[in-house]
Amino acid sequence: MLDISTQIGTLKLKNPIMPASGTFSEDLADVFDLDVIGAHVTKTVTREKRSGNPTPRVCEVRGSMLNSIGIPSKGVEAFKKDVIPFYSRYNAPLIVSISAGSADEFASLCEEISVPGVAAVEVNISCPNIKDDGKAFAMRPSTTHAVMRKLRDSTDLPLWAKLTPNTGETTEVAKAAEEAGADALVVSNTLLAMAIDIKTRRPKLGNLMGGLSGPAFKPIALRMAYQCAKSVDIPVIGCGGISTIEDVIEYLIAGAAAVQIGTATFIEPKIMARMVVDLAVYLETQGLSSVRQLVGCVDDKGASDGLVFMEAAP
C-alpha cells in the first residue's frame, strides 16, 4: 500500500507538501480543498500591527521574483481571533509563522501564540535583529542559539526554525538551532537581491532590495537543504524554487523530509494539490511504497564536500 506520509518530529503529516509562509492564505480555500496538503503554514504574524514596506513590493526578474513585503500584519490578537478559528475546520495541522525584532519579543510572542489549534510554531529567525544592527538572527550561530533557547523555554509546541541563505555559516547555524531546541529546520528563506529599472535608473523595489525566490533560487536552497540534512539529526523542510514534481523529488533525495511551495502558487494556485497527486504517481512508477524511501537517498559516496573552488573557464 502506498504511503506518502512523512514525520516532522512529533507531527505526522499525511504528505510532505505544504505552503511557504507568506504565499498562502484563507482565500485559497475557494480554489482547492485545503485538507489535501500535509500542513497549513500561515503568513507571518507579529505582535503589533504592521503596514509593511513601501511600494512597489514585488517585481519579476528572469526566471524568478523579488519581494520586499515587509511582513504586514494585523497583529497577534486579530490573528488569534480570526485566522486560527478559520483553520480549525481542517484536519491538516496548523503551523504558525512568527516574527519579532528581539529574542525577548520572539519568546513573548511565541508564548502568546501557543494556543489550542496551533500544532507547531515556525520562527522566522531570518528577520532582522534590532539589537544586532539589523543582522538576521540566523546569520550567526551565536544569535541563532540565543533566540532559539529563549523560544524553547517559552513553549511546549514544536519549533521549526526558518533559516536564511544570507550567511556563510549554514551548517553551523543549523547545528546551533538544533542544540538550542529546534524540532525542525525550514531551509530556507529568500536570498537578498536587487533589480534596477534601466529606464528610470531606480531600484524596482520600494525598499531598494528584497528577497529572491522562484526557480533561479532553487539550486542554492537545495544545496543548503542537503548540507543541513547532513549536519543535524532533526528533520529538514526544503523551501526555495519548487515549481515541478522533479523539484520536490530532488529535495527529498537531498535529505528533506518535506517541502514548502511558495512563488509557484502565485502562477498556479492549485499547484500544491497537484503535487500531492504527482508525488504518488512518481512513487508508483519507481516501484516505491513510501516517501521515506526517497528521503536522503542521494548517492554522494566518493564526492567531495563541494567546497573546492573551481577555476574560471578560459
pLDDT in tens, the chain (314 residues): 899 999 999 999 999 999 999 999 999 999 999 999 999 999 999 999 999 999 999 999 998 999 999 999 999 999 999 999 999 999 999 999 999 999 999 999 999 999 999 999 999 999 766 667 668 999 999 999 999 999 999 999 999 999 999 999 999 999 999 999 999 999 999 999 999 999 999 999 999 999 999 999 999 999 999 999 999 999 999 999 999 999 999 999 999 999 999 999 999 999 999 999 999 999 999 999 999 999 999 999 977 665 544 444 44
Q: For residue 59, what are the β-bridge partners?
A: 66
Residues 6+ apart with CB under 8 A from 156: 114
- Assess if residue 98 is contained within a domain: yes
- Bond before 188 cis per omega within 30 degrees: yes
Which of 279, 272, 156, 260 has its CA nearest to residue 217? Answer: 260
Instruction: Count up the domains in the chain and report the number.
Output: 1
Q: What is the CATH number of the domain that holds 136?
A: 3.20.20.70
pLDDT of residue 127: 79
Backbone torsion region of residue 12, taken as left when φ is above 0, otherwise alpha when ψ lies between -120 and 50, otherwise beta: beta
- Assess if residue 189 is contained within a domain: yes
Q: How far apart are CA 3 and CA 140, in angstroms?
A: 38
Backbone angles phi, psi at 280, to 5 degrees: -60, -40
pLDDT of residue 134: 65
The residue segments making up the domain with residue 85 are 6-308
- Assess if residue 129 is contained within a domain: yes
- Assess if residue 16 is contained within a domain: yes
pLDDT of residue 303: 77
- Assess if residue 110 is contained within a domain: yes
Backbone angles phi, psi at 227, to 5 degrees: -60, -45
- Assess if residue 314 is contained within a domain: no
- Assess if residue 107 is contained within a domain: yes
Q: What residues act catalytically? A: 127
pLDDT of residue 129: 66
- Assess if residue 179 is contained within a domain: yes
